[in-house]
Amino acid sequence: MNIGSQIVGCVAGMVATLLLMVAAPQPAQAQPWTLEGVSWSAQASEGLDVLSERGAELGRVLVAERVVTGRYLLEVEVRHGERRLRMPMIVTRPTPEQALEVSWAPAPEYVSALLTLASGDGLPPEVAPTAWVEERRLPALPIIATRARIITPYGEAAWQSPELSRHIMRWLNDALTEAGGPAGIDLLLDRRMEWAQVGELMMNAAAVGLFRVHIITRDETQLGAIATNLPIFPEGGLPDAMVLGVLGVYPHNEDGIGVGVRLDEQTIEATGTEGCREGLTFCARDGEEFDEALATVIANAGVDAARITHWLLAGSSEFNVGQGVRALVWTYTTLNIAPQSTFIGYIE
Average pLDDT over residues 221-227: 94
Average pLDDT over residues 240-253: 87
In angstroms, the CA 71 to CA 100 distance is: 9
Domain boundary among 170, 194, 229: 229
If pLDDT is split at 50, 70 and 90, which confidence band does 298 have?
confident
More confident residue, 178 or 124: 124
In angstroms, the CA 101 to CA 133 distance is: 23
In angstroms, the CA 73 to CA 175 distance is: 7
**309 shares its domain with 175:** no
In angstroms, the CA 287 to CA 256 distance is: 8
| Whole-number pLDDT of residue 301 | 79
**116 shares its domain with 249:** no
| Whole-number pLDDT of residue 143 | 98
Domain boundary among 186, 209, 229: 229
Average pLDDT over residues 156-178: 92
Give the pLDDT confidence of 49-72 residue by residue, as tens digits: 999 999 999 999 999 998 888 899
Q: Which of 54-63, 233-242, 290-299 has the lowest mean pLDDT?
A: 233-242
**223 shares its domain with 265:** no
DSSP letter (8 states) at residue 137: -
Q: Provide the 3-class DSSP secondary structure of residue 189.
A: strand
Residue 187 resides in a domain: yes
Percentage of the chain modeled with pLDDT above 70: 88
**DSSP characters over 70-135:** TEEEEEEEEEETTEEEEEEEEEE-SSTTSPPEEEE---HHHHHHHHHHHHSS-S-----SEEGGG-
Average pLDDT over residues 337-341: 94
| Whole-number pLDDT of residue 10 | 37
Q: What is the CATH number of the domain that holds 312?
A: 3.30.420.40
Look up the pTM and report it.
0.88
Q: Which of 9-13, 216-220, 280-284, 321-325 has the lowest mean pLDDT?
A: 9-13
C-alpha count within 13 angstroms, C-beta hemisphere, residue 307: 11
Count of domains observed in the chain? 2
If pLDDT is split at 50, 70 and 90, which confidence band does 221 have?
confident
**260 shares its domain with 203:** no
Give the pLDDT confidence of 103-134 residue by residue, as tens digits: 999 999 999 999 999 999 999 999 999 999 99
**146 shares its domain with 261:** no
In angstroms, the CA 95 to CA 222 distance is: 39
Which amino acid belongs to residue 289?
A: E
Residue 234 resides in a domain: no
**120 shares its domain with 245:** no
Residue 7 resides in a domain: no
Average pLDDT over residues 295-308: 78
If pLDDT is split at 50, 70 and 90, which confidence band does 94 have?
confident
User: Domain limits at 40?
Assistant: 14-229
**76 shares its domain with 109:** yes
Residue 330 resides in a domain: yes
Q: How far out from the chain centre does Cα 345 lie? A: 12
Mean pLDDT of the chain: 86
pLDDT at 23 over 70: no
pLDDT at 90 over 80: yes
